[in-house]
């Protein structure tokens, strides 16, 4: 049987760091208020002219190096992003050009914070079916470009960054299963309410910002992630104790803690990077994964549960033997 196995990981964070103290001088907030409600201490912000593709390229090159492959070995490129460089071509195509790869199918996936899990699920299906042997899967965002820096309820949450993995066909178990879903009925709870066909004049005026009903989003996230955890374990006939590491979307510590409680997992076995990164949307899970791999927290042979929840609403999980 063919499995898709993570051969290498990589990540990149912009140099500029925006701390909670910095935000105190920008909006009516405090470091204590932000920490208590989100766990976030700082976030990275892309420099002027630094694009989502720039971040994706840096993360991808690290993943390629870690996997020990050549760029020409890649026969599939998928980028999960909410903040593409352009309307078109896709960020994946722009990334392909930067890397010097020719001919591999390349496309973006837009599922907001669940974007990387969606992209991973798609790549897994390509490899299992024999349609690809080596896939580059990236989550990359420059969310700071769509944040209203006058809205204290949202501007404290988000940051920029990118994470990437190389997936390769293997006879060894890697991705055991992926589970993705969505319910567009909740689109108004977390949205950027303008686009090409709706309110484009506001986009042109620079008025296209994230809007969020925080309490409602929190409740739905905790409830939905609990369900997807149960679905994942049931599909693989596993117990909660069979999970070595939970690598969740880094939205805020309260959601992460609630999911860990659902799994009856000690926080010692939960990868948490939200305090340093903020919510980086599609980049969140691969950033946390790479941090855990490079720090030695996560080791080969361990079972990981990756999960995320995002605007749409979208949600997803991936059960992985690393």
pLDDT digits (tens, 9 = 90+) for 221-253: 999 999 999 999 999 999 999 999 999 999 999
Residue bearing tokens 């690290």? 62
Contacts of 56 (CB under 8 A, 6+ apart): 79, 81, 91, 95, 138, 140, 162, 164
More confident residue, 263 or 96: 96
pLDDT for residue 207 is more than 90: no
Please state, for a pLDDT cut of 90, what percent of the chain lies above it.
95
Q: Are 281 and 143 in contact (CB under 8 A)?
A: yes
Q: Are 288 and 298 in contact (CB under 8 A)?
A: no
Q: Residue 262 has what pLDDT?
A: 85
The angle at the Cα of 46, spanning 120 to 318, to the nearest 5 degrees, equals 15
Pick the range with the lowest mean pLDDT from 114-123, 222-231, 288-297. 222-231
Indicate which residue of 20, 101, 252, 279 is catalytic: 279
Cα dist from 167 to 4, 120, 134, 145, whole Å: 6, 9, 6, 30
- Tokens (6 digits) for 275: 């305090």
pLDDT confidence band for 155 (50 / 70 / 90): very high
Q: Residue 92 has what pLDDT?
A: 99
More confident residue, 85 or 205: 85
Give the mean model confidence (pLDDT) for residues 160-174. Answer: 98
Do you find a cis peptide bond into 89, omega within 30 degrees of 0?
A: yes
**Catalytic annotation on 113?**
yes
Q: Residue 203 has what pLDDT?
A: 76
Q: For residue 78, which of 105, 52, 51, 42 has the smallest C-alpha distance?
A: 105
Indicate which residue of 44, 179, 249, 277 is catalytic: 249
Indicate which residue of 20, 53, 101, 113 is catalytic: 113
Helix (H) or strand (E) holding 58: helix 52-67
Pick the range with the lowest mean pLDDT from 178-182, 212-216, 260-264, 285-289. 260-264
Across the chain, mean pLDDT equals 96
Alpha-carbon distance of 253 to 17, in angstroms, equals 20
Q: For residue 179, which of 306, 300, 44, 10 has the smallest C-alpha distance?
A: 306
Summarised one tens digit per residue, pLDDT across range 94-112 is 999 999 999 999 999 999 9
Describe the chain by its helix, strand, coil percentages, rounded to 5: 40, 25, 30
Q: Residue 243 has what pLDDT?
A: 97
pLDDT for residue 205 is more than 80: no
Alpha-carbon distance of 320 to 25, in angstroms, equals 43
- The whole-model pTM stands at 0.97
Q: Residue 206 has what pLDDT?
A: 74
């Amino acid at each position: 049987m063919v499995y898709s196995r993570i051969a290498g990981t990589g990540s990149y964070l912009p140099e500029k760091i925006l701390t909670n103290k910095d935000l105190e001088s920008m909006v009516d907030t405090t470091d204590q208020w932000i920490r208590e409600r989100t766990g976030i201490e700082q976030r990275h912000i892309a420099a002027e002219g630094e694009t989502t593709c720039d971040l994706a390229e840096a993360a991808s090159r690290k993943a390629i190096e870690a996997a020990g492959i050549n760029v020409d070995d890649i026969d599939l490129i998928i980028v999960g992003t909410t903040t593409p460089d352009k309307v078109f071509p896709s960020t994946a195509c722009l990334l392909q050009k930067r890397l010097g790869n020719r001919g591999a199918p390349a496309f973006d996936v837009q599922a907001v914070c669940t974007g990387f899990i969606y992209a991973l699920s798609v790549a897994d299906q390509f490899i299992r079916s024999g349609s690809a042997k080596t896939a580059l899967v990236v989550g990359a965002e420059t969310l700071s470009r769509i944040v209203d820096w006058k809205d204290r309820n949202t501007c404290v949450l988000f940051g920029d960054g990118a994470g990437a993995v190389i997936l390769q066909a293997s006879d060894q178990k890697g991705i055991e299963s992926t589970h993705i879903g969505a319910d567009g009925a909740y689109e108004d709870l977390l949205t950027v309410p303008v686009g090409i066909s709706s309110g484009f004049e506001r986009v042109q005026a620079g008025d296209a910002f994230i809007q969020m009903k925080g309490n409602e989003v929190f409740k739905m996230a905790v409830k939905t992630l609990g369900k997807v955890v149960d679905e994942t374990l049931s599909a693989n006939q596993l117990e909660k104790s069979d999970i070595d590491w939970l690598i969740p979307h880094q939205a805020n510590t309260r959601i992460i803690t609630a999911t860990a409680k659902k799994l009856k997992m000690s926080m010692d076995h939960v990868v948490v990077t939200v305090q340093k990164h903020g919510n980086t949307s599609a980049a969140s899970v691969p950033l946390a994964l790479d941090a855990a791999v490079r720090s030695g927290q996560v080791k080969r042979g361990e079972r990981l549960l990756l999960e995320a929840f995002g605007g749409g609403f979208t949600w997803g999980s991936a059960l992985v033997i690393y």
